[in-house]
């Protein structure tokens, strides 16, 4: 029986899920990170060893393939042996550079043209150091953790490499970037799920893993969560209802729009496109605690409209589906009845989601056919009914939403389910 291990490294902790896909059994373990650290690589490495230790020995000995997902845009510089030479720059850390500095290296609509991109961070480090040693390498969080297991330098996947300037449709970095002083630091880029190499013998022996266990190219945490849902047909989407609303739509066509933060990840023969609104559960929690949300939702009659027209931002500024940094929350008039007020908020959030999927389709993405729902809001049945009425496609709770499960699926099967289409780009 083949057992695959998926490891998910997020912002506050890490989780591992070992899956026996033949018998549909799994085991899950997790660790929590400290809230702050002066040495994040040490925290990540210790978490990796803790996760491997916590997996029962009889499961560990049967693991044949391992993959890791990490936070997109979290990167560090290290030498060829993997020893960190800088503290990591995290996914949300912006670099004080002009985007014009990157324009010669990537196309005009590329996801790397952002102050928080991996490429922006690499350019920032070059300016900070004056020149970077050619025997250093830049690695994403997932790449660096995988290096601890396989020992092969400068290896990445085309999901984590996207924000470093990699063009998945052309399957390469640009010639200008490769010929620059930064070119020597760039990784070899693989399809996610492809085996990079066997586990280091010392690691296999220490943790009771098979010496034949293969370490595979990983992915990002958000794509891993999409893979966990099992969605693999164009037109199927996953909406994550957390503090914000995040949309991911599987498309036969790649679409992008820098203004609203829309870009597309290659996924085998398809594209995974999407965007993220600032609206979401954070707005609901400004007015209702979780227990009240549950009790009031049960009193809503979703067959009758509230008569309210809200755009429920938690604060000033929206990015998707409307790019307006000065947009204010639209939460008036507020009725005295809290049930009606909550219904108006949920209807407003459903409308934001509707506009989001419409925006993706206006850009040329495959028409929406159905939605799987993840995140804390997925459990709200009334919200789901309001969403289904607004969007007009079937909506259901995703069968699995754990990113670590999606990464285990990636390790076991690669992207085989996504290789039945020809790539297209608008």
Res 277: pLDDT? 94
Query: Contact 319/276 with Cβ under 8 angstroms?
Result: yes
Task: Give the span between the Cα atoms of 194 and 219, in whole angstroms.
Answer: 11
Task: Give the span between the Cα atoms of 408 and 314, in whole angstroms.
Answer: 35
Res 1: pLDDT? 57
Per-residue pLDDT tens for 59-115?
Answer: 999 999 999 999 999 999 999 999 999 999 998 899 988 888 899 999 988 999 989
Per-position DSSP letters for 16-68, written without gaps between them = EEEEETTTTEEEEEEEE--S--S-HHHHHHHHHHHHHHHS-HHHHTTEEEEEE
* 3-class DSSP assignment, residue 135: coil
Phi and psi torsions of 267, nearest 5°? -140, 85
pLDDT along the chain (426 residues), means of 10: 90 95 95 90 97 97 97 95 95 88 92 93 94 95 98 97 95 97 97 98 98 97 94 96 94 93 94 95 94 95 96 95 95 97 98 98 97 93 97 96 95 91 48
Distances (CA, A) of 244 to 143, 181, 377: 27, 38, 10
DSSP 313: -
pTM of the model: 0.92
What would the CATH number be for the domain defined by 3-222?
3.30.420.40
Rg (CA), the chain: 22
Farthest-apart Cα atoms in the chain, separation? 67
Distances (CA, A) of 289 to 268, 296, 342: 42, 11, 12
Per-residue pLDDT tens for 7-28?
Answer: 999 888 999 999 999 999 999 9
DSSP 167: B
- Beta strands 195-198 and 214-216, pairing class: antiparallel
Half-sphere exposure at residue 90, Cβ-oriented, CA atoms within 13 angstroms:
12
Res 425: pLDDT? 45
Residue 96 Cα to chain centre, angstroms = 24
Nearest 10 degrees: Cα torsion 356, 359, 363, 367 = 70
Res 420: pLDDT? 65
DSSP 86: S
* 3-class DSSP assignment, residue 397: strand
CATH level 2 (architecture), domain 232-398 = 2-Layer Sandwich (3.30)
Helices (H) then strands (E): counts for the chain: 12, 19
Res 37: pLDDT? 84
Mean pLDDT of the chain: 94
Query: Contact 390/304 with Cβ under 8 angstroms?
Result: no
One fold for both 3-222 and 232-398?
yes
Domain residue ranges in the chain: 3-222, 232-398
Query: Contact 10/71 with Cβ under 8 angstroms?
Result: yes
Phi-psi region of 308 (alpha: psi -120 to 50; beta: other; left: phi over 0): beta
Query: Contact 43/104 with Cβ under 8 angstroms?
Result: no
- Beta strands 270-277 and 245-251, pairing class: antiparallel
Nearest-CA neighbor of 320 among 378, 280, 271?
280
Res 381: pLDDT? 95
Res 424: pLDDT? 52
Per-residue pLDDT tens for 198-228?
Answer: 999 999 999 999 999 999 999 999 999 999 9
Res 148: pLDDT? 98
Nearest-CA neighbor of 231 among 270, 190, 192?
270
């Amino acid at each position: 029986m083949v057992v695959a291990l998926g490891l998910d490294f997020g912002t506050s902790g890490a989780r591992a899920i070992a899956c026996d896909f033949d018998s549909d059994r799994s085991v899950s373990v997790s660790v929590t990170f400290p809230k702050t650290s002066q040495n994040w690589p040490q925290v990540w490495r210790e978490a990796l060893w803790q996760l491997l230790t916590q997996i029962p020995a009889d499961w560990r000995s049967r693991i044949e393939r391992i993959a890791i997902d990490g936070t997109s845009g979290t990167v560090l510089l290290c030498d060829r042996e993997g020893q960190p030479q800088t503290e990591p720059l995290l996914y949300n850390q912006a670099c004080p550079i002009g985007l014009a500095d990157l324009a010669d290296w990537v196309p005009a609509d590329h996801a790397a043209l952002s102050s928080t991109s991996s490429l922006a961070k690499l350019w920032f480090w070059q300016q900070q150091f004056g020149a970077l040693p050619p025997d250093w390498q830049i690695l994403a969080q997932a790449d660096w953790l995988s290096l601890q297991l396989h020992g092969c330098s400068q290896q990445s996947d085309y999901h984590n490499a996207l924000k470093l300037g990699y063009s998945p449709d052309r399957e390469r970095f640009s010639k200008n970037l490769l010929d620059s002083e930064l070119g020597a630091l760039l990784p070899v880029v693989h399809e996610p799920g492809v085996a990079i190499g066997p586990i280091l013998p010392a690691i296999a022996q220490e943790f009771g893993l098979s010496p034949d266990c293969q370490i595979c190219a990983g992915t990002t945490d958000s794509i891993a969560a999409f893979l966990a849902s099992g969605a693999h047909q164009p037109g199927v989407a996953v909406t994550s209802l957390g503090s914000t609303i995040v949309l991911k739509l599987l498309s036969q066509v790649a679409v992008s729009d820098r203004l609203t933060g829309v870009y597309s990840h290659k996924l085998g023969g398809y594209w995974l496109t999407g965007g993220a609104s600032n609206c979401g559960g954070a707005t609901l929690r400004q007015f209702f605690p979780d227990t009240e949300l549950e009790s009031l939702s049960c009193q809503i009659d979703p067959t009758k409209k509230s008569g309210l027209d809200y755009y429920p931002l938690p604060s000033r500024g929206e990015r998707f589906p409307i790019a307006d940094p000065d947009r204010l929350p639209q939460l008036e008039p507020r009725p005295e009845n809290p049930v009606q007020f909550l219904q108006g908020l949920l209807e407003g959030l459903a409308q934001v989601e509707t506009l989001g999927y419409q925006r993706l389709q206006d850009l040329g993405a495959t028409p929406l056919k159905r939605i799987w729902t993840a995140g804390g809001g997925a459990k709200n049945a009334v919200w789901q009914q309001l969403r289904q009425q607004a969007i007009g496609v079937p909506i259901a709770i995703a069968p699995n939403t754990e990113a670590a499960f999606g990464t285990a699926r990636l390790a076991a099967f690669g992207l085989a389910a996504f290789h039945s289409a020809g790539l297209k780009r608008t």
